[in-house]
Amino acid sequence: MRIVFAGTPHFAQVILNKILKDPSINIAGVLTQPDRRSGRGKKISSSPVKMLAQDYDLSIIQPVNLKDPDSIEAKQLRDWQPDLMIVAAYGLILPQYILDIPIYGCINAHASLLPRWRGAAPIQHALLSGDPKTGISIMQMEKGLDSGPVISMESIRVANDDTAGIIHDKLATLAAQMIYQTIHDFQDHKISSTTQDHTSANYAHKLDKQDAKIDWHNQVADIERAIRAYNPWPIAHTVINNTVIRIFSASILKQNPLVPCGTIVKISKTGIEVAATGGIINITRLQLPGKKPIQVQDFVNSLPNGFAQGAHCE
């Protein structure tokens, strides 16, 4: 079976790496996003999938988009004559003509329990909503957004201290195992699928940095979940004395604050306590502009101006 793999970030790289360990699977080619400038130095960097594909001397194409069915990239894809395309966090919408090229179509590893959390940020939205579990859905792709029939689905429990980064890594490993099994099921003609309940679908919109600004009037449970959901990106943040503070971890103190929401109640080596609705958020790991993230016990040894009990977080 000839496979084309389409993916870009680390999540997809984990899946591709699992597939490449099996010499019986023929990877005809790889689609990944173009090289881009990234990091503080804005150096050109390749995607994790491209770097892995280069290690295996695989054919690679990096289209800016796939809108033109007569493009060089579209021709290359047809020339690969794929039986099946595996898609994982590719980052571009695949038009219908692409979906029609492989004999068995395109399958996608989506990081949610579909139809819950279709869209770009399912892991973060599962955490924001306090979902007790999440998982991977292997889906036959169609024109609609994450709306195709589900071939297989497996779940994991969301722990109370899981960040989006931790869940991401767990799901990448799970997705790799499931995609590997699905390829062999296609080879053995053992594939079946179930239509999604479209009436139960909800949408996980793409995140931006402004989403991660903390509203201290929210319930403490919502704020604590947001801090975990936005780690490692875009990182929850607040403003104290005109300084942006990025918050990497925090806990809930079940106390009744007698001050307005957003007020710093206490600063100690065990945390920076901030009043919110229904309790107190105790910040334990944070970052100042231009500095590395640090534990609060190191931060309180040299407090910046304006950081004091009674100060207000905006």
Mean pLDDT across 7-16: 98
**Integer angstrom CA distances of residue 55 from 36, 48, 115:** 19, 11, 36
Concatenate the DSSP letters of all residues of 8-31 into one string. Answer: -SHHHHHHHHHHHT-TTSEEEEEE
Q: Look at residue 39 in the predicted model and tell me its pLDDT.
A: 73
Six-digit token pair at 157?
Answer: 């429990």
Question: Among 32-46, 94-108, 218-232, where is mean pLDDT lowest?
Answer: 32-46
Distance, CA of 289 to CA of 175 (rounded, Å): 36
* pLDDT of 164 above 80: yes
pLDDT: which is higher, 58 or 42:
58
pLDDT tens, position by position, 229-280: 999 999 999 999 899 999 999 999 999 899 999 999 999 999 999 999 999 9
CATH topology of domain 2-204: Rossmann fold (3.40.50)
Question: Looking at the domain covering 209-302, what would its CATH class be?
Answer: alpha beta
Q: Are strands 84-88 and 2-7 parallel, antiparallel or unpaired?
A: parallel
Q: Average pLDDT over the chain, rounded to whole? A: 96
Which pLDDT band holds residue 307 (cuts at 50, 70, 90)?
confident
Beta bridge partners of 107: 86, 140
- Determine the 3-state secondary structure of 301 from DSSP: helix
Rg (CA), the chain: 23
Burial class of residue 156, CB neighbours in 10 A (0-12, 13-18, 19+) = middle
Sign of the alpha-carbon torsion through 261, 209, 283, 311 = negative
Domain ranges of the chain: 2-204, 209-302
Q: Does 41 have pLDDT greater than 90?
A: no
Q: Where are the alpha helices (DSSP H) in the chain?
A: 10-20, 48-55, 72-79, 96-99, 122-128, 164-187, 220-229, 296-299
Give the SS3 label for residue 77: helix
d(CA 207, CA 126): 13
Mean pLDDT of 115-136: 98
The pLDDT confidence band at residue 303, using thresholds 50, 70 and 90, is confident
> Is there a contact between 310 and 272 (Cβ–Cβ < 8 Å)?
no
CA distance 36 to 45: 6
pLDDT exceeds 80 at position 195: yes
| 305: pLDDT strictly greater than 90 | no
pLDDT of residue 13: 99
Instruction: With a cut of 90, say whether residue 59 has pLDDT above it.
Output: yes
- Residue 37's pLDDT is what? 86
pLDDT at 285: 98
- pLDDT at 249 (0 to 100): 98
Lowest mean pLDDT, pick from 35-39, 150-154, 271-275: 35-39
- Considering the chain, what percentage of its residues have pLDDT values greater than 90? 94
pLDDT computed for residue 53 by the predictor: 99
Q: Residues near 251 by Cβ (< 8 Å), separated by ≥ 6?
A: 224, 271, 281, 282, 284
Q: What is the pTM of this model?
A: 0.95
Nearest to 111 by CA among 77, 146, 72, 62: 146
The tens digit of pLDDT for each residue in 171-194 reads: 999 999 999 999 999 999 999 999
pLDDT of res. 306 = 79
